[in-house]
A and B are shown apart, each in its own frame.
Chain A
Amino acid sequence: MHIPDTSAGASKEFIVFRLGAMEFAIDIMAVREIRGWTPATALPHAPSFVRGVINLRGAVLPIVDLAERLGFDPIELSARRVVIVVQIGARLVGLLVDAVSDILSQPHETIQPIPDVASEVVKLYVQGVFAFEDRMIGLIRLEHLAPPSLGEAA
């Protein structure tokens, strides 16, 4: 884990996680909890990236396979996969990812627009990229992941 660099001006903290070989980040303020994958109840008529719903202490939480949502290969399920529970508006959504790798702090101005080679889907859900050491980390645009847009395009 990295100690946040407090010298920077408007720094934000991010949770960094892996989807396959790529790394992405979510504003830590939106993250409610991180938990291991448990089998979900399938939802009928749901797009394939909605893996179903699980019981989060009495609330019904939809699980979105973030890799598949971004157009990558679906995540292979195992107990070692991780669900990041995020709050989007008034809703809670569980994002299924491969693994959480880091928590780091990043000044706002270092975030760059997403390079033009990315697919339209990626551009919709990734709002920018930043460099950390020699890694490139994509910043997820959470508001587009909330239902109903969540289930709109299958």
Chain B
Amino acid sequence: MDPMETIRQTFFQECEEQLNETETGLLALEIGEADSETVNAVFRAVHSIKGGAGAFKYERLVRFAHVFETALDGLRNGRLEASPSAMKTMLRSADLLADLVREARGDAAVDDARLEALRDELGRLAEEPGEPATQAADSFGFQPLTLSLGDLAPETPPSQGWRIVFRPAPDLYRRGNEPARILRELAELGDMRVTCDASALPLLDAFDPGGAYLAWSIDLTSAAPREKVEDAFDFVIDDCELRVAPLAPAPDAEAANADGLEFTPLSIDLPMIDAPTAPQAAASPPPTERKVETVRAEATVSQTIRVDLERVDRLANLVGELVINQAMLSQSIVEAALPRASKAFDDLTALEQLTREIQEGIMAIRAQPVKPLFQRMTRIVREVADATGKMVRLKTEGEATEVDRTVFEKLADPLTHLIRNAVDHGLETPDERAAAGKPEHGEVRLTAAHRSGRIVIDVSDDGKGIDRARVKAKAVEKDLIAADAQLSNTEIDNLLFLPGFSTAAAVSDISGRGVGMDVVKSSIQSLGGRISVSSRPGLGSTFSLSLPLTLAVLDGMVVKVAEQTLVAPLTTIVETLRPKARDVHRLGVDQRVLADRGVFVPLIDVGIEMGFRTTPADPLSGVVIIVEGDGGARCALMVDSILDQRQVVIKSLETNYQQVQGVAAATILGDGRVALILDIDAFVAVTHSQPPLAAVS
């Protein structure tokens, strides 16, 4: 890739982070859970976006970020109050800023009218647009590049010492001198604070690798005489610009400005600049008494690296292969009939242990917290609330819950839809709420949690609940159910998931985008997940998603049916039993039911259902697995025997073939052969789609 393009990519990646930071901060401000640092963080984030955008000449983005920044500055220095209406404007501005970043990246363009409107609104918020922004930029600009070789922020201002301005010339580097060495030498003299001035740094196209663009301003708190300080620069005195002046006990930031050290901050990762600074900082051994502090500062910053997702996926696939191969090896060792005491068994156990750990490790790498996803939803709520004139508060919980990356990515659309629905259909208007004796602000809750090996995400609202009478009428009208059908409340609620069902009387701009809840349901199902709904009239509804932690492996029960090996997902299995003659009842010619603790469940001969055999097996000779599908409906699957219970790696059948009825996916077992994983929901659906009465005749 072209190096400029790489840097541009980095810029956009960082924009995402800055945008998240901006939104998080603004949301905290909105609910009054913010301190002065929050405003600063938001300001810095917007400022960084502006700086980077300037480097790439994204004019629209720069201009808007500038106006936004000005308004934020007002907030920062107290000229502007964080009133609800101001915060609303700020949040909408953050949304627009995000859209402008997207526009810069080449995605959807931003509407000019919207841009103008918000720009004016922000302009009105900030009393003195323009001038304060530049000031702010200056005082903030220093932070990103502060290079600390000692105390980050001394408690008391330095009382005595030297202010040194050190600007190396290109010759300094050409002669093999290293500024870090000099700074290190200075550090021996006392506490010091180094600020790097990168203002001379040109844009990349003008960048000369042999040039010297950085300068340092050093505040040295030390009793050392001037000569001692100048000694440090002895070797380079002819190749640099050096000013040494007594340090005044005045606040330094302003003094630095007075010195004319103005520069725009760098907000993009420039590898060629980054590389030398890192070793510099690392290579400088701070005097012992300061060591502790340095270590502490490092510990609080979590170290991360960016890795191409493809590499992680490849590794994950290889680990999948490793698991299969290890299973094959264990089988071979068992078949080799080695003596019991053979060392091979111990080694194999160790290998199994390692494999499992590697697998867990790779899954942890792929896992990521749902926080960014939830954050995106706050925006959705805001937009829908604005469009519908409703007042909504989004409460999120369990944002740290981690889910596999693939699941994460595919969750965005269904979740967006559920959130839109909750605000658009679930919540009432402020007037309606007031009439019902509820607070004007509706509440939408979004929670995530791990529960028995799955991740459960709930979207609930405190609105009016599902209007069951209307849902039923609609279903009858659309010919989805018979007019005289007797349905339980749960059954009525589940009508929402039927294809072609939409409760909104008029197709609104917000929820009615041609996709219904059936699409949400099928996308959740394609993730191996389940969706359910519960509702209480007048109190609200909850949509609950239950998803697997990963799409890569599942715990399964390996069974044998008509010489074929099949896998049933363990999560669907309620119990296994050997049927007794008195529990099996005939219902029609081929249909049988099994009495399971007094409840009759359909008994399915898996061999016949899958077409592996044509004559039904004797139910009493085999084993029955009671399984439960998505909707909670159960059926009894008849298999010949249970072989094993193990973790299997999920392999798609669709990659090279197509979807197969009754089969969820495939896997590869220890003998190297493919085994099919049963699609329990398909079995349950088959048995429950037949009206029970028809089977008797």
Contact = CB atoms under 8 A, between A and B. Distances in A.
Interface of A: 39-46, 52-55, 57-62, 91-93, 147-148, 150-151
B437 interface: no
Contact of B651 (A39, A60, A92, A148): A60
Interface string B639-667: 00000000000011101111011110010
B658 A151 contact: yes
A53 B663 contact: no
Nearest to B320: A58
A53 B657 contact: yes
B253 interface: no
Contacts of A151: 657-658
Nearest to B322: A58
A150 B565 CA distance: 24
B658 A44 contact: no
Contacts of A61: 656
Nearest to B317: A58
Contacts of B656: 59-62, 91-93, 147
Contact of A54 (B610, B653, B674): B674
B655 A44 contact: no
Interface in B579-595: none
B457 interface: no
Contacts of B565: 41
A58 B662 contact: no
A41 B564 contact: yes
Given A91-B656, A93-B656, A151-B658, A45 B611 contact: yes
- From B668, B674, B676, name the one whose CB has the most chain A CB atoms within 10 angstroms: B674
A60 B324 CA distance: 13
A61 B651 CA distance: 11
A71 B657 CA distance: 21
A62 B657 contact: yes
A55 B668 contact: yes
A43 B676 contact: yes
A150 B653 CA distance: 14
Contacts of A91: 655-657
A38 to B, nearest CB: 8
Given A44-B611, A44-B661, A45-B660, A60 B655 contact: yes
A41 B673 contact: yes
B108 to A, nearest CB: 29
Contact of A55 (B653, B673, B676): B673
Contacts, number: 76
A44 B610 contact: yes
A60 B666 contact: yes
B674 A41 contact: yes
Contacts of B611: 44-45
A58 to B, nearest CB: 5
A148 B658 contact: yes
B321 A60 contact: no
Given A60-B652, A60-B666, A91-B655, A39 B673 contact: yes
A74 to B, nearest CB: 17
Contact of B658 (A52, A58, A59, A147): A147
- From A46, A55, A59, A62, name the one whose CB has the most chain B CB atoms within 10 angstroms: A55
Contacts of B661: 44-45
Contacts of B653: 53, 60
A44 B662 contact: yes
Contacts of A54: 673-674
A49 to B, nearest CB: 13
B553 interface: no
- From A42, A44, A92, name the one whose CB has the most chain B CB atoms within 10 angstroms: A44
Given A43-B660, A44-B661, A46-B660, A59 B651 contact: yes
B683 to A, nearest CB: 11
Given A53-B657, A55-B672, A92-B656, 6 more contacts: A45-B611, A54-B674, A60-B652, A62-B656, A91-B655, A150-B657
A56 to B, nearest CB: 9
B612 interface: yes
A59 B10 CA distance: 34
Given A44-B610, A93-B656, A58 B673 contact: no
A58 B668 contact: yes
Nearest to A93: B656
B27 interface: no
10 contacts: A41-B564, A43-B663, A44-B609, A44-B612, A44-B661, A59-B651, A59-B656, A60-B651, A150-B658, A151-B657
B533 interface: no
Nearest to B610: A44
The 3 closest A-B pairs by CB, nearest first: A44-B610, A62-B657, A41-B674
A54 B657 CA distance: 12
A93 B317 CA distance: 20
B675 interface: yes
- From A39, A40, A147, name the one whose CB has the most chain B CB atoms within 10 angstroms: A147
Contacts of B655: 59-60, 91
A55 B666 CA distance: 10
A112 B443 CA distance: 72
- From B320, B321, B612, B655, name the one whose CB has the most chain A CB atoms within 10 angstroms: B655
A147 B651 contact: no
Nearest to A54: B674
- From B324, B652, B658, name the one whose CB has the most chain A CB atoms within 10 angstroms: B658
B638 to A, nearest CB: 15
Contacts of A150: 657-658
Interface in B480-507: none
B118 to A, nearest CB: 44
A55 B662 contact: no
A55 B648 CA distance: 14
A58 B663 contact: no
Nearest to B669: A55
- From B652, B661, B666, name the one whose CB has the most chain A CB atoms within 10 angstroms: B666
A147 B672 contact: no
Interface in B607-641: 609-612
A59 B651 CA distance: 7
A39 B675 CA distance: 12
A53 B666 contact: yes
A40 to B, nearest CB: 8
B321 A58 contact: yes
B622 to A, nearest CB: 18
A42 B564 contact: yes
A45 B666 CA distance: 15
A45 B662 CA distance: 9
B657 A147 contact: yes
A71 to B, nearest CB: 21
Given A44-B661, A92-B656, A57 B321 contact: yes
Contacts of B674: 40-41, 52-55, 60
B657 A60 contact: yes
A93 B652 CA distance: 14
Contacts of A46: 660
Interface in B285-304: none
B673 to A, nearest CB: 6
A29 to B, nearest CB: 18
Interface in B548-569: 564-565
Contacts of B673: 39, 41, 54-55
Given A41-B564, A41-B673, A41-B674, A58 B660 contact: no
Nearest to A147: B658
Contacts of B663: 43-44
